[in-house]
Amino acid sequence: MGTAIYVLTFGLLVVGIYAVVAKKNIIKIIVGLLIVDYAINMLLVLMGYRNGGGAPILVPGESQAQMTSSVDPLPQAMVLTSIVIGLGLTALMVAMAVRLYEKYGTFDMSRIRRLRG
């Protein structure tokens, strides 16, 4: 079951990369990048899980010793950073997509081709 979890996660990654490579529509490309982002974030979170572990947060009444069996906090901090990076990129991509639509009148990358190859 554990192997299936990781392989399915990479399956999600492949779906995202497929969208980025094979699709021509700008929105579909953005969607693909978002899916790639999800897949890698999910992989990090899953790699930090340990059986029976709870959230790495103390509630009043607990002592530090009770936290030593909880899940790994470091991947969570990394994923938090990665989510924020994804949000920033989404904002920038959306702005560029709007601007490209204004200039070219289409979302089709195969028609957005004014640069010589």
State the number of binding residues for other proteins (CB under 8 A): 107
Q: How far is the CB of 105 from other proteins (least distance, A)?
A: 7
The token pair at 51 is 């059986």
Distances (CA, A) of 59 to 35, 64, 66, 76: 34, 10, 10, 18
47-106 positions binding other proteins, by CB under 8 A: 47-51, 53-60, 64, 67-68, 70-106
Q: Identify whether the C-beta of residue 70 lies closer than 8 Å to the C-beta of residue 61.
A: no
Q: How far apart are CA 103 and CA 9, in angstroms?
A: 37
4-43 positions binding other proteins, by CB under 8 A: 4-38, 40-43
Q: How far is the CB of 71 from other proteins (least distance, A)?
A: 4
Q: How far is the CB of 51 from other proteins (least distance, A)?
A: 4
